[in-house]
Amino acid sequence: MSELKGYKGKIRDFLITNKVDVGDLVKITSELTYSGILMPRYESGDESHIVLKLKSGYNIGIEFEKIEKLEKTGERQSNNENSQTIEKNEELPKILLLSTGGTIASKVDYRTGAVTPALSAAELYEAVPEIAKIANVDAEVLFSEYSENLQPEHWLEIAKKLDSIVDSDYVGVIIAHGTDTMHYSSAFLSFALSGFKKPITLVGSQRSSDRPSSDAALNLISATKFLVNTKSKGVFVVMHQNESDDAVACHLGTRVRKNHTSKRSAFQTVGSEPAFVVYEDKILENMKNSFFSENEYNPRINLDTKVALIKYHPGFNPEIIESLIKLEYRGIIFEGTGLGHVGRTMYASIKKAKENGIFLGMTSQCIDGRVSMTVYESGRDLLDMEIIPLENMIPEVALVKAMWVLGNSNSDDEIKNMMLENYSSEF
């Protein structure tokens, strides 16, 4: 018998009594009859369900108390390829795989149907053995969090870890990361580690790795191919380019946005094509120029979180700006309308914020295009109030950049100059 991984108590005793092992073909009679392969449970799951992989490829959880009968219909399938230790080929290049959590490192909780962090970085490597033919992977778990729970202090931890291996023999780094805030993390790493000596890829998955429609494996394989074959430095978000499985896009970390809640092709480069596309064994290059690649490595791993991103809308209460002043915020990034506008009801509070030494930057709510505040009178009024137009910088990127700039400077002139300097192709 195997260890019946993840099964405990009465369920484990029931499986042993019926001489059933993980990997066996079984038929379970409950409210309905199900046939499939008995799967292991993961430890964070509940103890009241048995998991089967159906012929369709989907896994289901069957409530133990409702099971009327269990029959073994086939012997456990030999799985030596997955169970054996994957030996490293010393002739292959080395990459580092850092796990931070997210759907790419998750499985489904069959009691609730929710996606739960469960896999370690090492388990990701074992789950995608194709990677072993491309590179030797060292895996490490930094933390295991959904990306909505990641905070700026997590960005600092990732950046410090990467800085510690900048002179190592790794050819590149994969960061397994949740998709919801991936573009915030990629932006910070782009600024904090400007000129990093090897490519960094943030890789996520829109669908967990135990679903047949998962994009996790192809994204990981493509990121590995990219790291091994590219000569470009920089921070990239590596995700499906479309809904098929033939191409994976490598987006610049400061020019990417998640534009769909659930599609595998949710991430898109704003204003251009992805910097690179991995198509089978080819790396297609679209990037004309990357300031990141030209820079000397100059790590500045600091930030100040007292920056707000304000999305202007009709009816916006300017007292919110007053509150930010009282809270001693040091920067406000406005996500204005059109070419970079906010209503005149905001003017008095904006002037007060400027008098209190708060940096004020303007971006646009429009997905594409460039801020231009000289076209209309309202834009010129805001320029007179010393709001700085941030051209075509993505609002979330401008927020992260302002945090980084304010963490590395106290001079008003230097803050302005740094916000307008193109460090990592953010413009």
Residue 126 burial (CB count, 10 A): 17
Q: Any idea which residue has 């978000």 for tokens?
A: 237
Helix, strand or coil for residue 390?
Answer: coil
Cβ-contact 258, 279 below 8 angstroms: no
CA–centroid distance for 73 within its chain: 42
> How far apart, in whole angstroms, are the C-alpha atoms of residue 273 and residue 190?
19
- Among 107, 198, 225, 258, the one annotated catalytic: 258
Phi and psi at 216, nearest 5°, equal -60, -50
Residue 306 burial (CB count, 10 A): 17
**116 part of the active site:** no
- Among 24, 100, 103, 304, the one annotated catalytic: 103
**Whole-number Cα distances in Å, 100 to 51, 97, 120, 177, 181:** 26, 10, 9, 5, 12
As given in the structure block, the two tokens for residue 286 are 């679209």
| Residue type at 155 in one-letter notation | W
Phi and psi at 278, nearest 5°, equal -95, 115
Burial class (CB in 10 A: 0-12, 13-18, 19+), 343: middle
**180 part of the active site:** yes
**269 part of the active site:** no
Q: Any idea which residue has 């409950």 for tokens?
A: 30
Burial class (CB in 10 A: 0-12, 13-18, 19+), 38: buried
**374 part of the active site:** no
- Among 100, 179, 201, 269, the one annotated catalytic: 179
- Among 24, 100, 107, 180, the one annotated catalytic: 180
The DSSP secondary structure of 342-377, one letter per residue, reads --GGGHHHHHHHHHTT-EEEEEESSSSS---TTSSH
Task: Return the axis-axis angle of helices 319-326 and 347-355, rounded to nearest 10°.
Answer: 10
Cβ-contact 316, 346 below 8 angstroms: yes
Q: What is the CA radius of gyration of the chain?
A: 25
Catalytic positions are 103, 179-180, 258
